[in-house]
Amino acid sequence: MSGKENKVIIGIDLGGTAVKIGIVNRAYDIIAQTSIPTDAARPYEQVIADMGNAAAGLLTENGYDFGECLGVGVGSPGTVDSKNGVVLYSNNIRWDHVPLAAELKKYLPLPVYINNDANCAALGEVVKGAAKGYRNAAFLTLGTGVGGGIIIDGRIFEGGHPGGVELGHMKNGSEGRMCTCGRTDCLEAYASATALIDDAKKMAVWHPESLLWELCGHNLNRMDAKMPFDAAEAGDRYGKMLIENYIRHLADGMIDIVNIFRPDIIVLGGGVCAQGENLTQPLNKYLEENCFGASVSYIPQVVTAQNGNGAGMIGAASLVEPEGYSS
Amino acid sequence: MSGKENKVIIGIDLGGTAVKIGIVNRAYDIIAQTSIPTDAARPYEQVIADMGNAAAGLLTENGYDFGECLGVGVGSPGTVDSKNGVVLYSNNIRWDHVPLAAELKKYLPLPVYINNDANCAALGEVVKGAAKGYRNAAFLTLGTGVGGGIIIDGRIFEGGHPGGVELGHMKNGSEGRMCTCGRTDCLEAYASATALIDDAKKMAVWHPESLLWELCGHNLNRMDAKMPFDAAEAGDRYGKMLIENYIRHLADGMIDIVNIFRPDIIVLGGGVCAQGENLTQPLNKYLEENCFGASVSYIPQVVTAQNGNGAGMIGAASLVEPEGYSS
């Protein structure tokens, strides 16, 4: 008996718009949650005070005192110095060298761990989710950008200095597309949901005879990442072209990841992963055919994430007891 | 006092043509060495018997008994299962699941460690060489292919399964060049010495007015990787084009490595690194301008390897006491 059976963990998902705060139990189920606006333009001390007070309140409301809480994990956008608990830089919330862990301890007298949000989501899928039971996993989230995380031997892999494991910023395509990072042709510029939507908009304009133009109601502002998949499934040739191109670029990025990290499994998160097997089936085929040493080396399966809307909180909570606290 | 002061290590560099065997001291100086033909077409038992007997003989000739030897490290081409001491696959020496460590112990009753040769070279530059004193380093060797190794916290990083850290097989260029791995446009297809020589041959044929055609004595078979650098330095426009293109591709691969691993330092090995600052100066400039989060993240310096012809043996030896055995 470890005495941890009834203890809980606080997982905080710090986003550009909202701060989502959850209490998880030993099975990483979210047993209570709340959300407050980030209002990131304020001084960071105020943002963190609100975060800390809301988390402390959530604990109390649910009948827990600090002694029953093992700790706090926070997933932050941007470049995070996890060892020192500092958010070094986040373009999203405009933070620059913010001592998040130290500041948060003023309100929550508990162990506080912070990490990049994509790293958290990766670990969350290992402690509870699509990669549960695996020791080595790669995670790619396909959203506004392409984020990623690598789990090696059950722990978040961070490289030598903060700012590594930027899996969305490996060289990928060849069209000279500008990437948000200032370089051209990164994976993010081809495999983010943003990139897919941009491509679909162009295709709809160039080919108004395509189903894409109809699906968006002749209004490009309504185009989303699902429409090109829907068009492809309906047999529209332009939709098919978009999806084939999208999957080829994404697969190329994944092959880079396999050739470097050889994970047990690759988990895809973000809105695009709602496509399920429409996405994973061709990706798995591409990987089998193109990874280095294909026939003599281990090739991981590609699957979709399972933690859904709670992924950020579960992932953040997993920082506290990364090996699981059920034993 | 650890009692290791006068002990030695055997480092074995298993190559396609020759097996180089060295004895190193606590400073990783090679104090004795020999070389035998690999003759890899024979059964692997014979190759390993010759290797083991030659190493045992070298020890004896130099006045050491097994009790004075801390262990044996072997660097092998190909995909190596370092945990189990097995060479899983090597195209170079045509080995398939060869239990190298177990077999070698028949002749050398010592701890035996094996790893991929590029991983060994990377660790060798950390224990003695261009990355000495650093805990995190990336190593790229530019030769027939592009090999690589990553050192994280003083240890070889191997990923989840054997066959990872294939740094030469990340997506790089956009010409559709076939890579030896079966994929197109890998870093190796643009940044190996082989690729540079192929490009120089084409350029010399297309532009016989260029210095390249003169430097190779009007004989493409004599073209080597130094000639395009020499032509560029002499002001030849085609030589300059080749080198600019080569460095751009190499830099792009290095930026991928920085964005993923954030090492303290990047070490370049292989024949091309004889170019020294002609190579590292533009690479460092490119990295400063193009790495993710450039101004707010750590950017490593690019330097050339220092272990020269002994790199394979020193690197292999470093497997035995990776943290150094001087303490």
Angle between helices A193-206 and A226-233 (to 10 degrees): 60
pLDDT tens digit at each of 327 positions of chain A: 456 678 999 999 999 999 999 999 999 999 999 999 999 999 999 999 999 999 999 999 999 999 999 999 999 999 999 999 999 998 889 999 999 999 999 999 999 999 999 999 999 999 999 999 999 999 999 999 999 999 999 999 999 999 889 999 999 999 999 998 889 999 999 999 999 999 999 999 999 999 999 999 999 999 999 999 999 999 999 999 999 999 999 999 999 999 999 999 999 999 899 999 999 999 999 999 999 987 778 999 999 999 998 999 999 999 998 776 543
Tell me the shortest Cα–Cα distance from B324 to chain A, in angstroms.
20
**How many Cβ atoms from other residues are within 10 Å of residue B282's Cβ?**
17
For chain B, say whether A252 makes contact (Cβ under 8 Å).
Answer: yes
Query: In which element (H, E) is residue A203 found?
Result: helix A193-206
Instruction: Decide: helix, strand or coil at residue B35.
Output: strand
Residue B54: what residue type? A
Query: pLDDT band at residue B293, thresholds of 50, 70 and 90?
Result: confident
For chain B, say whether A133 makes contact (Cβ under 8 Å).
Answer: no
Backbone angles phi, psi at A96, to 5 degrees: -140, 110
Residue A171: what residue type? K
Query: pLDDT band at residue B4, thresholds of 50, 70 and 90?
Result: low
pLDDT at residue A153 in the model: 94
Judge contact between A76 and A40, C-beta under 8 A. no
Residue B300: what residue type? P
Whole-number Å distance between alpha carbons of A132 and A145: 25
pLDDT tens-digit series, residues B294-318: 777 899 999 999 999 899 999 999 9
A69-76 and A8-14 beta bridge pairing? parallel
pLDDT at residue A327 in the model: 39
pLDDT at residue B92 in the model: 83
Tell me the shortest Cα–Cα distance from A54 to chain B, in angstroms.
31
Mean pLDDT, to the nearest integer, of B141-159?
95
For B216-250, what is the HEC assignment?
A: CCCCHHHCCCHHHHHHHHCCCHHHHHHHHHHHHHH
Query: pLDDT band at residue B327, thresholds of 50, 70 and 90?
Result: very low
For residue B276, pLDDT over 60 is answered with yes
Whole-number Å distance between alpha carbons of B86 and B94: 14
For chain A, say whether B159 makes contact (Cβ under 8 Å).
Answer: yes
pLDDT at residue B106 in the model: 98
Query: pLDDT band at residue B324, thresholds of 50, 70 and 90?
Result: low
For residue B93, pLDDT over 50 is answered with yes
**Chain A window 75-114: which residues touch B at a Cβ cutoff of 8 Å?**
79, 88-89, 96
Burial of residue B50 (number of CB atoms within 10 Å: 0-12, 13-18, 19+): middle
For residue B2, pLDDT over 60 is answered with no
Find chain A residues with C-beta within 8 A of B159's C-beta.
136, 152, 260-263
Judged by CB atoms closer than 8 Å, whether chains meet at A264 and B296 is answered as: no
For chain A, say whether B172 makes contact (Cβ under 8 Å).
Answer: yes
pLDDT tens-digit series, residues B117-147: 999 999 999 999 999 999 999 999 999 999 9
Residue, of A321 and B64, whose pLDDT is higher: B64
Tell me the shortest Cα–Cα distance from A183 to chain B, in angstroms.
6
Whole-number Å distance between alpha carbons of A11 and A108: 12
pLDDT at residue A324 in the model: 61
The pTM is what?
0.93
Q: How many helices (H) and strands (E) does chain B have?
A: 10, 13
Query: pLDDT band at residue B225, thresholds of 50, 70 and 90?
Result: very high
pLDDT at residue A107 in the model: 98
Tokens standing for residue A220: 């490009």
Judge contact between B300 and B135, C-beta under 8 A. no
Radius of gyration for the alpha carbons in chain B, expressed in angstroms and rounded: 20
The closest of B221, B224, B313, B230 to B271, measured between CA atoms, is B224
For residue B3, pLDDT over 70 is answered with no
